[in-house]
Structure 1
Amino acid sequence: MTAEVESVEAVGVAPAADPGFLQRYGASIEYVLIPCAALLGALAVFGGFVALYGKNPLDLYFYMYYGAFGTWFSWQNTLTRAAPLILTALCTALPAQLGMVIIGGEGALLIGALSATSAALALQGAAPIVVQIAMVIAGVIGGGLWITLSGGLRQYRGVNETISSLLLVYIALAILNHLVEGPLRDPASLNKPSTREIGAANMIGTIPGTDVHWGLVFGLVAAVAAYVLIYHTTFGFAARVAGGNVRAAKIVGLNVGRLILTVCFLAGACAGLAGMIEVAAVQGRTNANLAAGYGFTGILVAFLARQNPLAIIPVAILLGGISASGGLLQRRLGLPDASVLVLQGIIFVFVLASDALYGRIGLFKGKS
Structure 2
Amino acid sequence: MKLTPHGLLRRETAEAIAIPSGALAASLLVFGAFVATQGANPFDVYYGMYRGAFGTWFSFQNTLLRAAPLMLTALCTALPARLGLIVIGGEGAVVVGGLSAASVALAAGAWRAPPVAVLAAMFLASLAAGALWIGLAGALRVYRGVSETISSLLLTYIGVALLNHLVEGPLRDPASLNKPSTASIGAANALGNLPGLEVHWGLAYGVIACALCYVLMHRTTFGFAAAMSGGNVRAAQLAGLPVKRLVVVTCMLAGACAGLAGMVEVAAVHGRANASLVSGYGYTGVLVAFLARHNPLAVIPVALLLGGIGASGGLLQRMAQLPDATVNVLQGILFLAILASETLYGRLRFARQTEVRQAAPASAVA
TM-score range, shorter chain: over 0.9
Partner residue of 2:330?
Answer: 343
Say if 1:127 and 1:24 are closer, same or farther in 2 by CA, change over 3 A: closer
What is the identity percentage for the equivalent residue pairs of Structure 1 and Structure 2? 63
1:262 paired residue among 240, 246, 249: 249
In 1: Cα distance, 2:127 partner to 2:12 partner: 35
Pair member with larger Rg: 1
Find out whether 1:226 has 2:213 as its counterpart. yes
| 1:300 CA displacement | 0.1
| 1:21 CA displacement | 7.9
2:54 paired residue among 47, 65, 69: 69
Partner residue of 2:39?
Answer: 54
Partner residue of 1:185?
Answer: 172
Say if 1:360 and 1:200 are closer, same or farther in 2 by CA, change over 3 A: same
Letter of the 1:192 partner, please give it: K
TM-score when normalising by structure 2: 0.94
Letter of the 1:74 partner, please give it: S
Q: What are structure 1's unaligned runs of at least 5 residues?
A: 1-18
Matches within 5 A, 1:1-368: 24-124=9-109, 125-365=112-352, 366=354, 367=356, 368=359
Say if 1:80 and 1:230 are closer, same or farther in 2 by CA, change over 3 A: same
| 1:268 CA displacement | 0.1
Do the aligned residues in 2 keep the contact of 1:145 with 1:265 (CA within 8 Å)?
A: yes
Letter of the 1:40 partner, please give it: A
Number of positions where the alignment pairs a residue of Structure 1 with one of Structure 2 = 350
Say if 1:290 and 1:39 are closer, same or farther in 2 by CA, change over 3 A: same
| 1:343 CA displacement | 0.6
In 2: Cα distance, 1:363 partner to 1:188 partner: 63
Moved more, 333-342 or 318-327: 333-342
Partner residue of 2:362?
Answer: none
In 2: Cα distance, 1:321 partner to 1:345 partner: 15
Q: Deviations 1:259-294 (Å, cap 9, x if unpaired)?
A: 011000000000000000000000000010111100
Q: What are structure 2's unaligned runs of at least 5 residues?
A: 360-366
The CA RMSD over aligned residues, in Å, is 1.2
TM-score when normalising by structure 1: 0.94
Letter of the 1:347 partner, please give it: L
In 2: Cα distance, 1:288 partner to 1:346 partner: 27
In 2: Cα distance, 1:24 partner to 1:95 partner: 22
In 2: Cα distance, 1:184 partner to 1:100 partner: 35
